[in-house]
Amino acid sequence: MQLISSRHVPFIDSQTPELGHAKEALFRDEARGFILYLSNGQPSSNSDERVVFLSLREALIWLNEPTEDWGSFWA
């Protein structure tokens, strides 16, 4: 598995009006293709983590998202 790109996404928590930083990382795996790892950046007991398998097209869209669209794969 190879790390392609990662980024920190600033957000405002809806439950507490505090600034947070989510983490996103795109990996390429020979067997499964592209894997997007999403984490809300909280300590492990409160964390929300997701793994999304992406096609080549979806991976390119993620890589080329403008800054204001970062975090769009959380929906």
Give the residue carrying structure tokens 């600033």: 10
**Which domain, by its residues, includes 35?**
2-66
**Residue 47: half-sphere exposure toward Cβ, Cα within 13 Å:** 14
CA distance linking residue 19 with residue 62, whole number of Å? 23
Residue 20 lies in a domain: yes
pLDDT-above-70 percentage for the chain: 79
Q: Look at residue 74 and tell me if it is in a domain.
A: no
Give the strands of the sheet with 2-12, arranged side by side: 2-12, 19-29, 33-39, 49-54
Q: Which residues pair with 5 in a beta bridge?
A: 26
Q: Does 75 fall in a domain?
A: no
Q: Which residue has the tokens 């990382």?
A: 25
- Within a domain: 51: yes
| Domain annotation covers residue 73 | no
Please give the tally of structural domains in the chain: 1
Q: Tell me: the pLDDT tens digits for 1-26?
A: 899 999 888 776 667 777 777 889 99
Q: Is residue 72 part of a domain?
A: no
pTM of the model: 0.73
Examine the pLDDT at 31 and tell me if it is beyond 90.
no
Is residue 19 situated within a structural domain? yes
